[in-house]
Amino acid sequence: MASALFFYLFSVLAVASGASVILTKNPVHAVLFLILAFFNAAGLFVLLNAEFLAMLLVIVYVGAVSVLFLFVVMMLDVDFAELKAGFIKNAKIGALIGGLVLVELLALVGYKGLAVSPVMSPSSPVPAADSGITNTRALGEILYTKYVYYFEGAGLILLVAMIGAIVLTLKHRKGVKRQSISAQVARGPATGLEVVKVPSGGSVIPPPAKHPEAAE
């Protein structure tokens, strides 16, 4: 009873906030509604006993992705009206092509039906409820053993993504003055102070600064 109540609460809120994401005028509000939608989806996962996915949703999507969205929305001056104009201009063609593919798929499925193979094994990989193994632990047990190949492969893909982002965007600009804390700390009276003898009536031109250039 209580779980049904929570199910309806979470799903109604998720749908409502999802709709608000695309209906609100203010992009910052849209991102905030998106966060609300993520939280409600996480709640639905908890109801399904998938607490690991729920945690992941909150940590990854709310903690990282949505914050990134907020940064983009608040820091970049994106003209959303212009974006929408471009969307509306191409919407007819997109809708036509998408609609055609959808109609074709539906017609085929409706005509023949989508049967599932008899050899399909629907045996549940979820640990039994009374085994005392949480599903976080169950995932951890297979992620680093049975699926270690996929796990390492995905890790390499992320490494490539990181190298790529650095290669394509990092610019080594020359002549930028940066603070070098180690140089400042290492500076003592011997290097920071110079006693010069000023001839009477004359002047002293200071020698060019010998600060070590800040490392790139």
Partner 1 sequence: MDSSVLYVVAPELILAIGAISLLMLGVFTSNGEAAGRTVTWLSIAVLIATAIAVFQGSGSSLVFGGAFVSDGFTRFLKIVILIGAALTLLMTFDNFGRAKLLQFEYPVLVLLATLGMLMMVSANDLIALYLGLELQSLALYVIAAFKRDDVQSSEAGLKYFVLGALSSGMLLYGASMLYGVTGSTSYATIAAAATIPEMSTNIGLTFGLVFVLVGLAFKVAAVPFHMWTPDVYQGAPTPVTAFFAGAPKIAAMALLLRFTQAALPGIAPQWQQIVIFLAIASMVLGSFAAIGQNNIKRLLAYSSIGNVGFALIGLAANNTEGTAGVLIYLVIYVAMTLGAFACVLAMQRNGRNVESISDLSGLAKTNLTFATILAVLMFSLAGIPPLAGFWAKWYVFLPAIKAGLYPLSVIGVVTSVVGAYYYLRVVKIMFFDETAEGFSPPEGRTFAVMALSAAFVVAFVLPFVGGTVVDAATAAASVLVPAHP
The residues that touch partner 1, with contacts defined as CB under 8 A, are 105, 108-109, 111-122, 145-146, 148-150, 152-154, 156-157, 159-161, 163-164, 166-168
Question: Of 25 and 111, which CB lies nearer to partner 1 in the complex structure?
Answer: 111
Question: Of 19 and 83, which CB lies nearer to partner 1 in the complex structure?
Answer: 83
Q: Could you tell me the smallest distance in angstroms from the CB atom of residue 98 to partner 1?
A: 13
* Distance from C-alpha of 177 to C-alpha of 214, rounded to nearest angstrom: 7
Of 130, 154, 133, the closest CA to residue 143 belongs to 154
Pull the structure tokens for residue 129: 């409820």
* Distance from C-alpha of 88 to C-alpha of 126, rounded to nearest angstrom: 45
Q: Could you tell me the smallest distance in angstroms from the CB atom of residue 162 to partner 1?
A: 10
* Residue the block writes with tokens 């945690």: 55
Q: Could you tell me the smallest distance in angstroms from the CB atom of residue 58 to partner 1?
A: 25
Question: Of 90 and 117, which CB lies nearer to partner 1 in the complex structure?
Answer: 117
Q: Could you tell me the smallest distance in angstroms from the CB atom of residue 153 to partner 1?
A: 4
Question: Of 47 and 138, which CB lies nearer to partner 1 in the complex structure?
Answer: 138
User: Tell me, what DSSP letter sits at residue 59?
Assistant: I
Pull the structure tokens for residue 14: 């998720």
Q: Which residues contact 45 (CB under 8 A, 6 or more apart)?
A: 51, 53, 54, 57
Of 42, 43, 36, the closest CA to residue 20 belongs to 36
Question: Of 63 and 155, which CB lies nearer to partner 1 in the complex structure?
Answer: 155
Q: Could you tell me the smallest distance in angstroms from the CB atom of residue 151 to partner 1?
A: 10
